Amino acid sequence: MTPLLELSEVTAGYGSAPVVEDITLAVEPGQVCALVGANGAGKSTLLGTISGLRHPSRGRITFDGADLGHAAPETVVRRGLVHVAEGRRIFRGLTVRENLDLGLWRSGLGKPEQRDRLDRVLGLFPFLRARLSAQAEVLSGGEQQMLVIGQALMREPRMLLLDEPSLGLAPVMVDRVFDTIEVLRAEGLSLLLVEQVVERALSIADRGFVMQNGRIVAEGPGPDLLRGPGLRQAYLGAFAGGSPSGDPADPTEARQ
């Protein structure tokens, strides 16, 4: 199958120093892929490079066959690739409805189509329907995460980049985030998911990528990666050699 998103030997960073180097990965249509790695590994930098917030200094990024390398963020969105950044950036003082409508910004859609999109998103997140005129700030953290995903879906993307959607959420809300991911998968969306809930993310991932110090050090079907040594090593890279017993704590548990 032809990949929907393809990165080939991509290097990028801030200023002259590379933060991510030589990244080659592919996401096929309909796949859920997980990108994991310790804090500071470069995961968010890579997502921002894909979505056009910064540009690669080397390598090539294609989406649906088109070169994205130096495309502006709005262009990337228009092509169907939407980045849901870390930190649940909702507009707290606006209503739920207004936050969703921001997803239609510059869409050029007429009112009936806008209504259709809203209905589709509310179909996925029915709890938002009763809250449409509530201020977004009254939603719980988990509900706010659904709202930012809902806003992204208002653009009818083909692929979402999700950066740590479960960060800081209560366990029951983490479950809802993962339920949502399954719903999006069933809708045929492709996802590149960055998560600190590593075990959970890899167990559902068609393909996983483990990042360490800006490079991909292991990849494979998510569940296989969970069983392999690459994951543990990537998290323990800063303590090369592991614990004296040679049996360091499992990072997939420590990170939950």
**CA 89 – CA 93 distance, rounded (Å):** 12
Q: Smallest gap, in angstroms, from Cβ of residue 162 to Mg ion?
A: 11
Q: Which residues bind ligand ADP (CB under 6 A)?
A: 14, 19, 37, 39-45
Q: Smallest gap, in angstroms, from Cβ of residue 26 to Mg ion?
A: 21
| Nearer to Mg ion (CB atom), residue 44 or residue 212 | 44
45 binds Mg ion (CB under 5 A): no
Q: Smallest gap, in angstroms, from Cβ of residue 202 to ligand ADP?
A: 16
Question: Which stretch, 20-28, 40-48, 102-110, 210-218, contacts Mg ion (CB under 5 A)?
Answer: 40-48
Which of ligand ADP, Mg ion, none is residue 150 near (CB under 5 to 8 Å by kind)?
Answer: none
- Show the beta-strand stretches assigned E in 64-150: 66-67, 81-84
| Nearer to ligand ADP (CB atom), residue 39 or residue 133 | 39
Amino acid at 10: V
What pairs with residue 34 in β-bridges?
193, 208
CA atoms within 13 A on the CB side of 209: 23
Q: Smallest gap, in angstroms, from Cβ of residue 44 to Mg ion?
A: 3
Cβ-Cβ contacts under 8 Å for 32 (sequence gap 6 or more) = 181, 185, 190, 191, 193, 204, 205, 206
Amino acid at 119: D
| Nearer to ligand ADP (CB atom), residue 173 or residue 211 | 211
Which of Mg ion, ligand ADP, none is residue 51 near (CB under 5 to 8 Å by kind)?
Answer: none
Which of Mg ion, ligand ADP, none is residue 37 near (CB under 5 to 8 Å by kind)?
Answer: ligand ADP
Write out the two tokens for 190.
């492709």
Which of Mg ion, ligand ADP, none is residue 127 near (CB under 5 to 8 Å by kind)?
Answer: none
Q: Which residue is nearest to Mg ion (CB)?
A: 44
| Nearer to Mg ion (CB atom), residue 121 or residue 145 | 145
Angstrom distances, CA of residue 12 to CA of 19, 136, 176, 232: 6, 35, 33, 25
Contacts 24+ apart (CB under 8 A), 162-166: 162/84, 162/191, 162/192, 162/193, 162/194, 163/43, 163/44, 163/47, 163/83, 163/84, 163/85, 163/86, 163/194, 164/86, 164/194, 164/195, 164/196, 165/84, 165/193, 165/195, 166/195, 166/196, 166/197
In eight-state DSSP terms, residue 18 is E
Q: Smallest gap, in angstroms, from Cβ of residue 194 to ligand ADP?
A: 7
| Nearer to ligand ADP (CB atom), residue 76 or residue 234 | 234
Which of ligand ADP, Mg ion, none is residue 40 near (CB under 5 to 8 Å by kind)?
Answer: ligand ADP
Question: Which stretch, 38-46, 52-60, 215-223, 245-253, contacts Mg ion (CB under 5 A)?
Answer: 38-46
Choice from 44, 151, 212, 252 touching Mg ion (CB under 5 A): 44
| Chain residues in the site for Mg ion (CB under 5 A) | 44
